[in-house]
Homo-oligomer: A and B are copies of this chain.
Amino acid sequence: MSLIDALNWRYATKRMNGKQVPQAQLDRILEAVRLAPSSYGLQPYSVLVIEDPALRERISPAAFDQPQITQSSHLLVFAAWDSVEEAHVDDLIRLTAKTRGQHPDELAAYGNAIKDTVSGFASDQDKFHWAAKQAYLALGTALAAAATERVDASPMEGFDPAALDDLLGLRKQNLRSVVLMALGYRDSSADRHAGLEKVRWPHEKLFIPMPSA
């Protein structure tokens, strides 16, 4: 199935049937997330993978009891690094050197450029938003990957990040939840959104050719 077909097939699935996503498909979706691009390749986030039904029951109130939290097969929590530090950049430089058989010193200028960016934000809040944006880019990759696997997904901003962070102990791991993605299979009979025509801005509104005609 082409990516366009997959994107037309998918929709934000509000009711799921509880069926399990096979491990091989889950693994491919997670591998797509892992391969997602990010600024400097820093990937300043983690993704919590929650299968345990009991834990998802406990999470449900923090997400306004939306059914897909518990009806899904797996819940992914995209959590951005609460604070991006120089030590993270050093980790990336070490990983880069190891992966490419270089000496870390060869990458010093690259590391310093990243550190300049990281320390150059006007506020900690702006830096966190930057990290969160990278997580959204990865979410876009994940949604494309799930759709090509014909696994349904619900991207979710409707939750209380502070409550979820408390429940999952994220702050002490230098993480803050930014967006969720429930994975599973649509329950077409229960989901009034299933089969609805997709709504998107028309091409001529979304895209602006430049210079304009």
Contact = CB atoms under 8 A, between A and B. Distances in A.
Nearest to A56: B210
B200 A41 contact: yes
A8 B35 contact: yes
Chain multiplicity (copies): 2
Contacts of A201: 34, 43, 95
Given A32-B3, A95-B199, A208-B49, A143 B37 contact: yes
A129 interface: yes
Interface in A29-52: 30-37, 39, 41, 43, 46-52
Query: How many residues of A sit at the interface, in one of the four size bands?
Result: 35 or more
Given A132-B133, A136-B136, A139-B140, A96 B199 contact: yes
Interface string A169-187: 0000100000100000000
A210 B129 CA distance: 25
A30 B19 CA distance: 33
Contact of A140 (B12, B95, B136): B136
A156 to B, nearest CB: 10
Nearest to A31: B4
The 8 closest A-B pairs by CB, nearest first: A140-B140, A7-B35, A137-B140, A136-B136, A144-B144, A133-B136, A129-B129, A140-B141
Given A129-B132, A133-B136, 7 more contacts: A3-B3, A34-B200, A47-B206, A49-B210, A100-B197, A133-B133, A133-B179
Interface of A: 2-4, 7-8, 10, 12, 28, 30-37, 39, 41, 43, 46-52, 55, 77, 92, 95-96, 99-100, 129, 132-134, 136-141, 143-145, 148, 155, 157, 168, 173, 179, 196-201, 203, 205-211
